[in-house]
Amino acid sequence: MKQFEGFPARMQFTPIPNLFISKLLPQIEDINELKVTLHIFRAVYGKRGYPRFVTFENLLSDPGLVKSLDGKSEESEKMLSSALNQAVKRGTILRLELVRDGNPEELYFINTENDKRALEKIGNGEIVLEGLKPGKRTRARETETPPDIFTLYEENIGMLNPLIAEWLKEAENLYPESWIRDAIKEAVSLNKRNWRYIDRILENWSAEGRGDGTHKRGSETDPDKYIKGKYGHIVRR
């Protein structure tokens, strides 16, 4: 193997979300899924306009990607399809199936809030893509799932660093996931966008119960008690 000579002084860069590196990368075991995902980042972020996406044929015609998968077009198509399925199932990538000249065509988007809105607008006709029409169904909607608590935190509170990620993992072991989601939403609604405030809400709910009828285990406490008590300024309906 010939050793790489190094990166030149002037070159282009592809943005990679920090959350992909901290949350998703450790989960990816299939090297082809990783390769395809990185190629989609490059292809999508290298485009201009709105919405930005890449098609299955775009990916299959990328010689660098095909070579990295297998190098043989017959096998590469199968490997590409399998890797895309895994990326879509993981939630990194969104897939939308439309029709061009009577034939199905798959479009791939990065799973961001902007791209989710773009898919909705395509689905309801607000955005019309030249030459493409809605198919009988779209797989993008089938694969959409609520963001995990790490994504929810980064999208609503702030940057996810290793310390906060560790706190979130500890919270997952202590509280129901729905509590953590609701605590983040509560903090956002009160414009208290920091982990300390979220943690205080969770601790209060655990100690005093919740106003939705959810109590701590073995507690006979009035579910509205915590709203009236000393933590009333923290947790509101």
**46-63 burial, b if ≥16 CB within 10 A, otherwise e?**
eeeeebbbbbbebbeebe
**Cis peptide bond N-terminal to 51, omega within 30:** yes
Q: What is the pLDDT of residues 88-137, one digit of tens each?
A: 999 999 999 898 888 888 999 999 998 999 988 888 888 888 888 776 54
User: What is the fold, at CATH topology level, of the domain defined by 18-143?
Assistant: Arc Repressor Mutant, subunit A (1.10.10)
Q: What is the pLDDT of residues 38-90, one digit of tens each?
A: 999 999 998 888 899 999 999 999 888 988 887 565 678 888 999 999 999 99
* Total-model pTM: 0.56
Q: What is the pLDDT of residues 141-199, one digit of tens each?
A: 444 456 788 888 888 888 878 888 889 999 988 899 889 999 999 998 888 889 999 99
Under CATH, which architecture does the 149-228 domain have?
Orthogonal Bundle (1.10)
Nearest by Cα to 202 from 222, 237, 178: 178
The domain segmentation of the chain, as residue ranges, is 18-143, 149-228
Which two structure tokens, joined as six digits, stand for 62? 């990328």
Q: What is the pLDDT of residue 102?
A: 81
